[in-house]
Structures are given as C-alpha cells and as structure tokens.
Amino acid sequence: MDRILIEGLNIETVIGVYDWEREISQRLVLDLELAADVRPAAADDDVGQTLDYAAISQRIMDFAAETRFALVETFAERLADKLRKEFAISWLRLTVRKPGAIANAAAVGVRIERGKTQ
C-alpha cells in the first residue's frame, strides 16, 4: 500500500488542561501518513482518484477551529476518526505535537495508528 504524506501542518486550536490554556489558541504541528493506492491517480494524472491532501488539510484546519479539548490525545483520536470516516481512509498514522508545552523540550505529543493497511 502506498502512503500519502502531510508533514509539518501547523494549526491553531484551543487545547490544554490549565484554565489559562482554555482562553487562548495554541499551535499544534501534525504529521500524517495515509494509506492509498496511488496507481490509478498516477496513470490518469487525476486527483479525483486519490486522497486529496489539500482537502484533507483544510478539513483538519476546520476541525481544529471548531473543537476545544483538554488533551492532545483526545484531539488526535477524534481527528483520526473523523478523517477515516469522511475520506474513506483505511489506515492512517497521525502525529500531533504541541510545541513549547514543556520547558526544555521542543514539543510533546502523541502518535497513533488506526485502521488496517490491507
């Protein structure tokens, strides 16, 4: 199975467990791997036959704007579920990083995999 990549996608969302975090938007950085067979799209040079990473990226930004979670884990789980359902993605690996959350660390975050690669 082929993999479509979206790496280093910067989004803004309200996320955090502390009261002050619930009052501001913070940056998350996402990396995605999405299972897809890219051969039909490549043969016909047709974006309609593959996962449209521009549409997926926009959906992620919309999701981030409309949700508020305390945990990065919750954000990742709900986003993965939404993407798999809306774009018929059989398997994905999603990494969500929260830069600056811990002093002396570039970022903290989670990486999850959902579905089957066939």
Sign of the alpha-carbon dihedral angle for 51, 93, 96, 63:
positive
**Residue 40, CA distances (Å) to 45, 55, 62 in order:** 8, 19, 29
- In three-state secondary structure terms, 88 is coil
Cα of first residue to Cα of last residue in the chain, in angstroms, is: 7
- Is there a catalytic annotation at residue 98? yes
Of the residues 82, 85, 98, 116, only one is catalytic, namely 98
**H helix runs in 5-52, sequence order:** 39-44
Active site residues: 98
